[in-house]
Amino acid sequence: MTFDQIIGHDRQKEFLRRTLAHNRLAHAYLFEGPQGVGKRLTALALARTVFCAEATGCGDCIPCRKIDHNNHPDLHILEPDGKQIKIEQIRNLQKTLAFKPVESTRRICLIDQADKMNPAAANSLLKTLEEPSAETLILLISARPEALLTTVLSRCQRLPFARLPQSCIESTLIEQRGYDQKEAHIIAALADGSFQMALDRDPTIYLERRIEILKQVTALSAGSILPLMELAKELSTEKETIPQTLELLQAFYRDLLLYRHNRPLESLINIDLQEKIRRIAAREDNGSILNKLDALNECQRNHERNVNPQLNLEVLLLRLAA
């Protein structure tokens, strides 16, 4: 991955390119910002440019290829081991820092989800940050910088990353993933500025199955309980897709609210269901929509607490059908 291949973040990429070209890299950076927007990819692109035989991050030379295959001996990547980054991981890293870099004149330590360092690990890393060496570049990555020790923060140059614009995710999905305009709009609108989240959305659920689920749910009526029970049973059979079903329903009821408040049509997520949204928005009022969104939130919380899925969905559907 080169800087050019990373979506968005032009200012951050330009800053790193320029700093690198003038050989003015700091000893430690913190790439901070929302999950899945490209912080780690940017760190890897920086590593490639630092180690590249052409100094461009060409992608063809041996160092570039080693980085892409995650086997460059001077690039050390630390990630949580289970839920935390532990002191042993930092100590092991520090042991390698006692030696000269193996193939390059420098080395890079990339600590992903740095906020997961437990206090002992963070304090141990602090020693390394306090004794900077020209050979070592430390890159911390975090979506929760407020969880890092202030002493660690103060030793790093902070580089903030923002959410990606929806239009930017949309055009990339069209160009690189073969989505059509409407599909790209729906997936990008659900991605909350994170390209990773867009890629994680399974198109068979979020594009095709979505239409079917919304059709089934909006056809329910509180007076006929049997179809409601059957649908709850059907939706609960694949327990792992329940959060996705809930997300789709949330997006739909949110669309109804936006529509009722005369928001521009392009702010809707279900851009392909405008006729349905118009029809259903006309028979609901704002209060009833808010109640349904509330029911969805409660169902989500119950799901996370392992409440029986079928019961949980039956209660939800009763409230949605009301």
Which residues here bind Zn ion, judged by CB under 5 A?
52, 54, 58, 61, 64
Torsion of CA 161, 97, 93, 158, to 10 degrees: -20
HSE, side-chain direction, 13 A CA sphere, residue 312: 22
Q: Least distance in Å: CB of 280 to Zn ion?
A: 55
| Residues facing residue 142 across a β-bridge | 32
Whole-number Å distance between alpha carbons of 249 and 243: 10
C-beta closer to Zn ion: residue 48 or 185 = 48
C-beta closer to Zn ion: residue 62 or 282 = 62
C-beta closer to Zn ion: residue 65 or 276 = 65
C-beta closer to Zn ion: residue 52 or 114 = 52
Q: Least distance in Å: CB of 102 to Zn ion?
A: 17
Q: Least distance in Å: CB of 104 to Zn ion?
A: 12
Closest alpha carbon to 231 in 253, 221, 240, 202 = 221
Closest alpha carbon to 78 in 69, 91, 65, 67 = 91
C-beta closer to Zn ion: residue 47 or 191 = 47
Whole-number Å distance between alpha carbons of 239 and 246: 12
Q: Least distance in Å: CB of 60 to Zn ion?
A: 6
**Contact criterion met (CB below 8 Å) for 255 and 277:** yes
Q: Least distance in Å: CB of 53 to Zn ion?
A: 5
Q: Least distance in Å: CB of 68 to Zn ion?
A: 10
C-beta closer to Zn ion: residue 106 or 254 = 106
Q: Least distance in Å: CB of 107 to Zn ion?
A: 17
C-beta closer to Zn ion: residue 6 or 64 = 64
